[in-house]
């Protein structure tokens, strides 16, 4: 710019980044542009001032902000330096995390803990702030709502109901029909009142006939037949004599 040769006044104004009657003053930190009338975003990295001519953050942005002047917050679901990190997605009520730190200010969904809600409950715990204890009868316990896969002998969403006429994990196997009143041990399925019903016991005993027993029966039957034939022959001879 050309100043007045008598007064030194810059009659057409100052260059970008300068102000004053004679344009002799550089813009103060935090301002830029013509006559230093523009405000920096205030989000330049390390609280450094923006470029006094352009307003650009020459050193980059603080966490949570992007664009050359660092005047734009991270999009929903992102945070951190250059908005390059993802929120956990487990903030309560599906809220977005803080765009600078990733913190869930209003807490976590059930089953998650930590300032960013990025940690699941330890084994054996579930629910809000992981404050609820899983049933000891659970084989596995879902960290969000405590829904269980049950150990042998138990059933129900929290594995607090004993098996009836059934046994095994989640009571998935029915007691055998050979058990008296169909009552069996809910853990291993063995009959509670004796081994089995009378009819079944007899049927079961028939399964234990050995080859030796079979041979004895066959031999005895053959002997009886031979004796019958001999006696018959003897009687015929007596008849014709």
For the chain, give the percent of residues with pLDDT over 90. 66
With cut-offs at 50, 70 and 90, classify the pLDDT of residue 31: very high
Other CB atoms within a 10 A radius of the CB of residue 144 amount to 16
Q: Is the pLDDT of residue 44 over 90?
A: yes
Q: Is the pLDDT of residue 150 over 80?
A: yes
Q: What are phi and psi of 203, to 5 degrees?
A: -65, -40
CA-closest candidate to residue 116, choices 146, 142, 141, 95: 95
pLDDT at position 201: 40
With cut-offs at 50, 70 and 90, classify the pLDDT of residue 205: very low
Does residue 47 contact residue 69 with C-beta atoms inside 8 Å?
no
pLDDT at position 196: 54
Does residue 57 contact residue 41 with C-beta atoms inside 8 Å?
yes
pLDDT at position 158: 87
Q: How many residues does the chain have?
A: 241
CA-closest candidate to residue 34, choices 20, 49, 50, 48: 20
Residues 6+ away with beta carbon under 8 Å from 35: 13, 14, 19
pLDDT digits (tens, 9 = 90+) for 68-119: 999 999 999 999 999 999 999 999 999 999 999 999 999 999 999 999 999 9
With cut-offs at 50, 70 and 90, classify the pLDDT of residue 178: confident
> Rounded to an integer, what distance in angstroms lies between the CA atom of residue 107 and that of residue 116?
9
pLDDT digits (tens, 9 = 90+) for 192-201: 876 554 444 4
CA-closest candidate to residue 129, choices 142, 141, 117, 146: 117
> Rounded to an integer, what distance in angstroms lies between the CA atom of residue 42 and that of residue 112?
34
Q: Is the pLDDT of residue 236 over 70?
A: no
Rounded to an integer, the average pLDDT of 184-188 is 93
Helix H or strand E segment including 221: helix 211-239
Max mean pLDDT range (3-12, 13-22, 201-210): 13-22
According to DSSP, the residues that pair with 25 across neighbouring strands are 19
With cut-offs at 50, 70 and 90, classify the pLDDT of residue 204: very low
Q: Is the pLDDT of residue 214 over 50?
A: no
Looking at every residue in the chain, the average pLDDT score rounds to 84
pLDDT at position 115: 97
């Amino acid at each position: 710019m050309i100043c007045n040769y008598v007064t030194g006044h810059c009659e057409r104004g100052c260059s970008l980044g300068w102000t004053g009657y004679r344009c002799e003053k550089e813009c103060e930190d935090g301002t830029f542009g013509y006559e230093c009338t523009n405000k920096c975003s205030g989000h330049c990295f390390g609280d450094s001032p923006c470029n006094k001519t352009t307003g650009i953050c020459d050193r980059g942005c603080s966490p949570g902000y992007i664009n050359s002047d660092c005047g734009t917050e991270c999009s929903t679901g992102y945070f951190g330096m250059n908005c390059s990190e993802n929120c956990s997605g487990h903030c309560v009520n599906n809220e977005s995390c803080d765009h600078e730190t990733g913190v869930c200010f209003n807490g976590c969904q059930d089953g998650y803990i930590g300032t960013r809600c990025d940690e699941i409950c330890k084994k054996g715990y579930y629910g809000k702030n992981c404050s609820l204890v899983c049933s000891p009868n659970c084989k596995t316990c879902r960290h969000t709502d405590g829904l269980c896969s049950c150990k042998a002998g138990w059933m129900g969403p929290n594995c607090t109901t004993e098996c009836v006429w059934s046994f095994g994990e989640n009571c998935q196997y029915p007691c055998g029909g050979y058990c008296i009143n169909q009552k069996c041990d809910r853990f291993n399925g063995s009959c509670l009142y004796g081994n089995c019903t009378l009819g079944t016991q007899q049927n079961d005993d028939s399964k234990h006939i050995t080859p030796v027993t079979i041979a004895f029966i066959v031999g005895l039957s053959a002997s009886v037949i031979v004796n019958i034939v001999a006696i018959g022959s003897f009687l015929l001879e007596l008849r014709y004599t």
